[in-house]
Structure 1
């Protein structure tokens, strides 16, 4: 089995792996196949130019990417067929009406090799010595196929959607073919798909992704709570005594993330203050006439102030009380604005 040439999948270079496995040697590189693809592109361009390079068909053709290869390493069946023609080999569709195809369908072991394609993946099946091998580059190594199983295997590939081509012509001689005619291969353990190595990794990556997503959700929730708290603490009016007197009489609007915070102008504060003091004086006068309050209980704000004075120190003068009452009135007017 060690003498059988087998390339494991690299990128999207399955066309290269398929050809080299079929020919049993490193005959084609990505550069070789790209050169063939470019030759095919140039030939197609010349054919389209026959109708005129000013036509709409030619313009659309030139705008389209190549159908023969791309940067990922994909190569079309035309590239594979062109590469095989160098060795005198040709492709024949498995389901064609050609007599050779009919023979292959009735007795697959009569052929020398097949190549199959499904969703742009190419694989080779070849007879080496007197035995058949699946040389799929997605396997860790060549897979021995019995003559009996070969027909079932090809039928299975067709049912899965594979396109199957028969290789016609004489394949080049190789060491594995000569050796296996003398010493047939024995394979007690079948090779595995190379992507099985990545299954656990994919599961692990999925778990990590879920954990990161959950962590992100927790952070977003905490951040939302913090933002709500900040927003509530910033709602209402804010007065800055350092504002210049030349500020606009119109209300200034400062936008936050979710709700604008409005800063009152000096004129609005003055109007609110005067209205509050006028209301306070009327209220004090009414209460005095009805004998329902004492002089020290002119308003709730004064009551609070006097309680603090009794705790913190001696009473202050009437002039001081008036000034403090004015400050308290301003503070309460600000609360009224909020």
Structure 2
């Protein structure tokens, strides 16, 4: 088992949950990030003031309010980036030219933050294993190495912004103080297969890529220009060379589609209400 720090979604505080699950501990609160957002707002205000209080740019800036924190507690990437800098960690988009190596082989990294509209979640490597740590899900999910590569590429294709976080992460201490969350033991050898209900909903993202055929796995790696030095990946299986069976790739829909069906109903309603505020 691998112990993973996890936080359930509260209001629109996914930015807090994303940072804490990335760092694997209760490091930040909503108040902490609100203070960071306020600091960034003041710096932006000072810059805008240079054009004069009567300038159209400043008037527009003042009227729009904070661009770093929303009334419901959603934080901008600038806030998360600033918070990470206190740990000497950097946060950059994988679409930047200097991060071409990340797209080629994301498995060499230690963590990613993913954002679409009003939601943040984490992909984190712990003890050499990858986990999808999403506060809207019931618990962290183990991801195979191949799943990580395909999942990130699928997210990119569907408009998610993905940021690679680099630097010396703080040491993970299982069962340390977990004021905002809990420690969950996850079996890193078993991927949870989709339920029948999930299979009936093509927009679900929880697809077990370990169930894919070897030749599909190989074809997808080639199509994504995937590269790594793991010799464990088996070559394309010739037994399906003559098969015309169609394949369906995973579909990653917007984050509200991945709330587990057996979660508390009140939590579902609270999450949906916070998401609708966008």
TM-score, normalization by structure 1: 0.53
SS of residue paired to 1:170: coil
- Number of residue-to-residue matches in the alignment: 196
**Does the Cα contact within 8 Å between 2:142 and 2:187 map onto a contact in 1?**
no
User: What's the RMSD between the two structures over aligned residues?
Assistant: 2.8
Counterpart position of 1:227: none
Shift of 1:80: 0.4
Distance 1:201 1:4, change over 3 A: closer
- Measure how far apart 1:184 and its partner are: 7.2
Change (3 A) 1:25 1:199: closer
List per-residue Cα deviations over 1:179-233 (Å, max 9, x = no partner): xxxx97333536998733379969xx9xxxxxxxxxxxxxxxxxxxxxxxxxxxx
Equivalent residue number for residue 190 of structure 2: 187
- How many Å separate the matches in 2 of 1:76 and 1:126? 20
* Alpha-carbon displacement from aligned partner over 1:147-205 (angstroms, at most 9, x marks no partner): 121111111111221111111111111025xxxxxx97333536998733379969xx9
Unaligned runs of 5+ in 1: 177-182, 206-338
Report 1:1-338 matches (<5 A). 3-98=3-98, 101-176=99-174, 185-187=188-190, 189=192, 195-197=259-261
> What secondary structure is seen at the aligned counterpart in 1 of 2:6?
coil
TM-superposition CA deviations, 1:273-324 (whole Å, max 9, x none): xxxxxxxxxxxxxxxxxxxxxxxxxxxxxxxxxxxxxxxxxxxxxxxxxxxx
| Counterparts of 1:109 and 1:71, CA distance in 2 | 36
Structure 1 CA distance for aligned equivalents of residues 163 and 46 of structure 2 = 29
1:26 & 1:55 partners in 2: Cα distance?
A: 43
Task: Compare the two structures and name the one with the higher helix fraction.
Answer: 1
> SS in structure 2 opposite 1:5?
strand
